[in-house]
Amino acid sequence: DVKVTQSSRYLVKRTGEKVFLECVQDMDHENMFWYRQDPGLGLRLIYFSYDVKMKEKGDIPEGYSVSREKKERFSLILESASTNQTSMYLCASSHGDRVFGYTFGSGTRLTVV
Amino acid sequence: QKEVEQNSGPLSVPEGAIASLNCTYSDRGSQSFFWYRQYSGKSPELIMFIYSNGDKEDGRFTAQLNKASQYVSLLIRDSQPSDSATYLCAVNSGNTGKLIFGQGTTLQVKP
């Protein structure tokens, strides 16, 4: 069974901490994505990557950075966590071909206090 | 700005009825269309995809696509309480692997 694995299901961090959210996929997918999802705002794209060491900003990149050193791993970094970054974070991956859609990870519920 | 529009609902149907979920999109170049189901507190899971005009059936689910009207829909026959969830419509963005998502429609199936 193909999988996208996010390292933590629930995470509580303090304001100002540096936070790492990890995502690993075992499907040899070229594309990987980070979204956040908040009630009433839907899925919002933070960053995405089409290949190793490549990254592109999504719709809301401010306050975030990413790293993709290996094809299977895509990390989201909150440089200095703030309370407005409390959210559900979803990682997804897909083939380079557009036709197959995304496979999502199970999500990380991050609370910044 | 490429957009995907869905009625947020909630859409309430009785058990056993047909639920009809609708989605419109703005990019005429879109070629791949997806429906995801998301239970509360869970991540989205892909339930249907469609590329060609017309209908595509999979069990109780039917996806319908009309590219001329830029409209895609999902029909759920014999709705069950377990179908109660938020349904997200997604459309490919250009020649990339990126999808544009609608805000989702919440479906409530009442026993």
pLDDT along chain A (113 residues), means of 10: 88 97 94 94 94 93 97 97 98 81 95 98
Closest-CA residue of A relative to B50 is A99
- A101 with B98: Cβ contact below 8 A: no
Share the mean pLDDT of chain B. Answer: 94
From chain B, the residues in CB contact with A45 under 8 A are: 98
pLDDT for position A97: 67
pLDDT for position A98: 62
pLDDT for position B8: 86
pLDDT (tens digit, 9 = 90+) per residue, B36-70? 999 999 999 999 999 999 999 999 999 999 999 99
pLDDT for position A2: 64
User: Which residues does B contribute to its contact with A (CB < 8 Å)?
Assistant: 31-32, 34, 42-46, 49, 51, 88, 90, 92, 95-99, 101-104
Provide the residue type at B79 as one letter: S
pLDDT (tens digit, 9 = 90+) per residue, B63-107? 999 999 999 999 999 999 999 999 999 998 877 778 999 999 999
Torsion angle, alpha carbons of A108, B109, B92, B23, to 10: -140
pLDDT for position B22: 97
Please report, for residues A19, A50, B41, B92, the alpha-carbon distance to residue A96 in angstroms, rounded to integers and kept in the order given: 29, 7, 28, 12
Q: Does A89 touch chain B (CB under 8 A)?
A: no
Question: Per-residue pLDDT for B2 more than 80?
Answer: no
Interface A:B, Cβ pairs < 8 A = 57
State both tokens at A42.
Answer: 């839907």
- B46 with A45: Cβ contact below 8 A: no
pLDDT for position B81: 97
- B102 with A42: Cβ contact below 8 A: yes
Query: B99 and B2 in contact (C-beta within 8 Å)?
Result: no
Selection from B9, B4, B1, B3 nearest residue B72 by Cα = B4
- HSE toward the beta carbon, residue B84, CA cutoff 13 A: 13
